[in-house]
Structure 1
Amino acid sequence: MSDPHSIAEARALRDEALAVFRADLDLVKAETSPARFKERAVGEAVEMIESARDIASENKAVIGVTLATLLAWFFRGPLQDLARRLADTVRSGD
């Protein structure tokens, strides 16, 4: 059989391990709470908005050209019709 001293040491180690586990479990519960998820999501969104604002202020011309290109692509059908009508008007001489 084991001596009482080694049993006491084993129990102390077990209790210490259980305390560490419970502390970790409490931390996991706190980090996975809905309030914490919301807090992190809001923090990430604010950080992304600030980054986008910084990039936009440094690259206004690039953003303007990109927006103009997107608008031209979305309205390509009406723009092509307009160009065709203008070309027909120029050819007909009216």
Structure 2
Amino acid sequence: MSEALTIATARALRDEALAIFRADLQLAKTESSPARIKERAVDEAVEMIDTVRDVAIENKAVVGAILAMLTGWLFRGQLIDLGTRMRDTVRPGD
């Protein structure tokens, strides 16, 4: 192979690689734009909400139990106080 043909082949490969790199760079810029990030976040949130809704519909008893436990945990101080007052009120022998 002559030197001119080797150089031309190398330049063609370089130009092709540069075109691929520029296309990838443009794609990265497009995908990292604030509008695209927001769009992907909204799409993911909608998909997550749909999944949660489907799971909740299939497992109503589990969701109810979890909500009851969370409510109990959130009001644990008040429930302990109520239990203490009831215990003190009902104490036998007073």
What TM-score do the two structures reach when normalised by structure 1? 0.81
- What residue in structure 1 maps to residue 16 of structure 2? 16
Deviates most, 16-25 or 80-89: 80-89
* Alignment RMSD (CA, Å): 1.9
- What residue in structure 2 maps to residue 86 of structure 1? 86
Gaps of 5+ in 2: none
- What residue in structure 2 maps to residue 28 of structure 1? 28
Kindly state the Cα deviation for residue 92 of structure 1 after the two structures are TM-superposed: 6.0
Matched AA of 2:32: T
Number of residue pairs matched by the alignment: 92
User: Partners in 1 of 2:56 and 2:7 — Cα distance?
Assistant: 67
User: Partners in 1 of 2:88 and 2:8 — Cα distance?
Assistant: 100
What TM-score do the two structures reach when normalised by structure 2? 0.81
Gaps of 5+ in 1: none
Alignment of 1:1-94 (within 5 A): 3-91=3-91
